[in-house]
Amino acid sequence: MKRPLIQLTTMTLAAASILLSMPALAGKTLDGIRARGQLVCGVNTGVAGFSATDSKGKWNGLDVDICRAAAAAVLGDSEKVKYVALNAQQRFTALQSGEIDLLSRNTTFTLTRDASLGLHTTAVTYYDGQAFMVPAKSKIRSAKQLKGFTVCVQAGTTTEKNMTDYSRTNDLKLKPVVFDKLEAANGAYLAGRCQAYSTDASGLASIRAKEAKNPADHVILPELISKEPLGPMVRRGDDEWFAIVKWVVYGLLEAEEYGITQANVDKMKTSTDPAVQRIVGSGEDMGKLLGLDREWLVRALRATGNYGEIFERNVGIGSALKLPRGANNLWSKGGLMYAPPIR
């Protein structure tokens, strides 16, 4: 009775080994992207540091760089992206309907969104939290001092519900003033129609840095009233595309951890470290498991640099927003960014 079990186990292991070595099928989303020669990426209508156009109409930002890295990985060219500007209420419908391939638009990962919209969050690209901003002249220095205040918020976001919960818990009786469009909410606050503004802390920093006449006239209060893990989303039902987007993000994080940058990625091909070799395509071929070639991550890194470079360029201390890495630092440096190994 033992011999057949041994033979079955051997056969099972052999079959598993064959399956693990087989290249992945492309998947219908990737097939469509390749057929049109372009990745269609949904982004915000304009949040500096995350997704906004410059004076020449070119899209820039952390979320935009995720689109660019994905396009470089699957199409070989980070410029082969069509950007679709979406407000908060449009974003999920655009992805569900197939209007876009990827939603990279400062979107919070929640149970409701993950379980009921037919969508998947792929990986967290920015750990944020909701905060309040007030005019400096108000002398308010804590969210607990906002009792009875009118607060500008955008419709179709987690912001209004979070604020309602916080107001009820702390008996603040906050009065939300809701706007469909981000631009309208920004304008209303800066014009003094609301006594405070509430959204993700990174969004407040963006508004203060880019839209206020004098950033020093506005104070972001220290309390974070929610957890806002932000990341790109894809449709359910295409596991291959889900895996590609997820591992592009993880690859950018892994590259930072191993010191692989936009400037040295090609030189690192001579590394004798097996982990580095897998990232730069000079060792085991990781691309075939995703339906890609072995240079997929190299192209992404050439286009955008690693996660740390993306962060610093768009929202970090060297940018207009001047946000600290904080929770978005690597796990090895006290942050929350921890990527599964590429192996």
Query: Which three-class secondary structure string do you get for 218-255?
Result: EEECCCCCCCEEECCEEECCCHHHHHHHHHHHHHHHHH
> How confident is the model at residue 242, as a pLDDT?
98
Please give the Cα distance from 84 to 106 (Å, whole number): 14
> What is the arrangement of strands in the sheet containing 81-86, beginning at the earlier edge strand?
81-86, 39-44, 102-103, 233-235, 119-121
Provide the phi-psi class of 135: left if phi over 0, else alpha when psi is between -120 and 50, else beta: beta
Query: Which residues fall within 8 angstroms of residue 178, CB to CB, at 6 or more apart?
Result: 153, 154, 155, 160
- What are the distances in angstroms from CA 31 to CA 25, 119, 248? 10, 19, 18
> How confident is the model at residue 156, as a pLDDT?
83
Query: DSSP 3-state helix, strand, coil percentages of the chain (rounded to 5)?
Result: 45, 15, 40
Q: Does residue 8 carry a pLDDT above 90?
A: no
Averaged pLDDT, 168-197: 95
Q: Does residue 324 carry a pLDDT above 70?
A: yes
The pairing of strands 119-121 and 175-179 is unpaired
Q: Does residue 233 carry a pLDDT above 60?
A: yes
Averaged pLDDT, 93-106: 97
> How confident is the model at residue 157, as a pLDDT?
86
Query: Where are the domain boundaries for CATH 3.40.190.10 in the chain?
Result: 28-127+230-333, 130-226
Averaged pLDDT, 100-125: 96
Percent of the chain residues past pLDDT 70, beyond the cut? 92
pTM of the model: 0.89
CATH code for residues 130-226: 3.40.190.10
> How confident is the model at residue 6, as a pLDDT?
47
CB 74 within 8 A of CB 244: yes
> How confident is the model at residue 16, as a pLDDT?
45
- What six digits make up the tokens of 10? 């051997």
Q: Does residue 13 carry a pLDDT above 50?
A: no
pLDDT tens-place string over residues 263-281: 999 999 999 999 999 999 9
Tell me the pLDDT band of 158, cut-offs 50, 70 and 90.
Answer: confident
Q: Does residue 7 carry a pLDDT above 70?
A: no
Q: Does residue 262 carry a pLDDT above 70?
A: yes
Q: Does residue 3 carry a pLDDT above 70?
A: no
Which option is the CATH number for 28-127+230-333: 3.40.710.10, 3.40.1800.10, 3.40.190.10, 3.30.1360.170?
A: 3.40.190.10
Residue 21's Cβ-side half-sphere holds a number of Cα atoms within 13 Å equal to 6
